[in-house]
A and B are shown apart, each in its own frame.
Chain A
Amino acid sequence: MAPSSGTDGAYGPGALKRPKRSPGRFGMALVQGCAVLTVAVLVFIIGYVMVKGARVMTPGFLLGSPEKMGREGGIFPSIVGTVSLTLASVIIAAPLGIGTAVFLTEYTQEGLFSRIVRFGTESLAGIPSIIFGLFGFLFFVIRLGMGWSILSGSLTLAAMMLPTIVRTSEEALRSVPDVYKETAYALGASRWQTVASVVLPTAMPGIVTGVILAMGRAVGETAAVIFTAGSSLRLPKSIFDPVRTLPVHFYILAREGISIENAYGTAAVLLSAVLLVDFAAYYILHRISKKRPVARR
């Protein structure tokens, strides 16, 4: 076979020499360039924010309260606000999301009912955050009278996180080997017993990773939060108090031009939090899948 266009090392390096101007060269370089550019953008964004924000990152900044509408002082209330809001959302969304996933995988056959539920979750996934914000405002803040509060904000955020948690939990549950379930059933266990003692524990790492990732997304959420949790700079005392989360504070600082420096600092803290959460999720997933035991012969 005449090597008119080379075989690209498919039969071992140097098996047949690749001619100098093979037609794919430019194309491959192009896509490689795309990847490089994409990664470069990412690195630039993170690096830029971190470097510029580092200047402002003093313990006083992290622990102090904002003064002069944020022009000076720290961002402690925002940190507290972000943490409490995110935690509250997870506490609400996780059981609901995991429960829905369990329902879809173990309690229904593929029929009309499961398709309705799935339609619900997938549609929810596509709704932009501002619509959630509007909804949260109308329903939680006004209709249910919760006002601008951690409660309203976390309920809204929980609704946003729901589809993600359902999707990742479902994947984790489906990856539990069928034999585990068959074994449990063959021993006389009932459906709930099998789910609770075999399926859920096995799927837990994947489920937890999904929840953590959803949490990471929620930390950075702005549009939905502004309309439901408010933008008060005061330290929240209860879940009925309004809060200004980090992204909201950051947004206000930047857009109103109050303090670009502090904006960088806030952004750096926010970014660190998000990255931390993401890394935690990947770390857990990696650790557990490494530990996942395989039967020896």
Chain B
Amino acid sequence: MNRKEKFAEVVLTVVGLTSVAVLALIIFFIFREGAPFFAEVGLGSFIGGTKWSPGKGQFGVLPMIAGSFFVTLGALVIGVPLGLGCALYLSEFAPKRTAAILKPLIEILAGIPSVVFGFIGLTVIVPLIRDRLGGPGFSVLASALVLGIMILPTMVSISYDALRAVPQVYREGMLAVGANRWQAVTSVVLPAARSGILAAGILSMGRAVGETMAVIMVAGNATIIPGSVLDPVRTLTSNIALEMGYAAGLHRQALFATGVVLFVIIGALNIVARSFVRNRVR
């Protein structure tokens, strides 16, 4: 009987280490493939360079960094208020029945594959922008819109949890002194849930930065620093996905180096987000 116990314990310990092992492998392989590039070309000219022409040996990713930055910013501008508003409604104002139907519905939104979002962006949003606002349609605006919608489920879900975690007494206390629900929520509940909502925002940011396929379909993928929201743009992720298929040698290493940069950015975002969540609980 004791041998079986020991066996179970050993197996489970090994299994428990799989995620750590996988993480280690990922870091190892990506960095190993990308690191030589930094030795060759140098971090400064990589991140600061404005020209990306692998054919001519130019590997500046600044346009892509700018692309990722603006697109993410736009996505947050669109997605955060909308998501927060939705979460507020579901958590504080919606009748129970409505909330019970809407919440799972929004969770289904989370399940829709990213390529479908990109496709809708391609067939609906891009022409719309092109006809109404000008430009090629493939633009920062299109990407921001698509990404903004994509981060909604994350934003709604985590903000909702943060709001729900605020003790009921906070609300009751305000109501008892004559405030109405809206005042109670804005003056007490929202501030109390502040760190959770911030975490939601940061996690959504991480998702937006890491999104690839949907953005490729609507961004236009020009390797220039966008001058207006109607300009086409290319993000860090798109860069990798678009050129990986035929890249070789230094070019390929450059793409992996891009992966490294991406990894670091998103890793930092996640750590920041987690520290907010950790601080809030207990």
User: Chain A residues in contact with chain B, CB under 8 A?
Assistant: 1, 3-8, 10, 18, 22-25, 27-28, 30-35, 37-39, 41-42, 45-46, 48-49, 95-96, 99-100, 102-104, 107-108, 116-117, 119-124, 126-135, 137-139, 143, 159, 162-163, 166, 190-192, 195, 213, 216-217, 219-223, 226-227, 247, 250-251, 254-255, 260, 263, 267, 270-271, 274-275, 277-278, 282
Contacts and interface: CB of A to CB of B under 8 A. Distances in A.
Interface of B: 1, 4-5, 8-9, 11-13, 15-23, 25-26, 29-30, 33, 81-86, 88-90, 92-94, 102, 104-109, 111-120, 122-124, 149, 152, 156, 175, 178-183, 186, 203, 206, 209-213, 216-217, 237, 240-241, 244, 256, 259, 262-263, 266-267, 269-270, 274
B116 A138 contact: no
B152 to A, nearest CB: 6
B106 A42 contact: yes
A35 B22 contact: no
What are the 9 closest A-B residue pairs judged by CB atoms, nearest first?
A24-B182, A220-B113, A128-B210, A34-B85, A120-B20, A99-B15, A103-B16, A120-B19, A126-B270
A38 B206 contact: no
A62 B15 CA distance: 39
Nearest to B85: A34
A103 B183 contact: no
A106 B84 CA distance: 36
Given A8-B181, A135-B29, 8 more contacts: A7-B180, A45-B116, A121-B19, A126-B203, A129-B212, A192-B8, A222-B213, A247-B115
Nearest to A155: B22
A210 to B, nearest CB: 13
Nearest to B15: A99
A8 to B, nearest CB: 4
Contacts of B263: 127, 131
B19 A166 contact: yes
A7 B174 CA distance: 10
Contacts of A5: 178-180, 183
A130 B259 contact: yes
Given A96-B15, A220-B114, A127 B108 contact: no
B180 A103 contact: no
Contact of A4 (B30, B33, B175, B178): B178
B12 A103 contact: yes
Contact of B186 (A27, A102, A120, A260): A27
B180 A271 contact: no
B98 to A, nearest CB: 9
A226 B23 CA distance: 21
Contacts of A216: 111
19 contacts: A30-B85, A35-B94, A38-B83, A38-B109, A42-B106, A49-B116, A49-B120, A99-B11, A120-B22, A126-B206, A128-B211, A131-B26, A131-B30, A131-B262, A135-B29, A192-B9, A195-B8, A220-B111, A271-B116
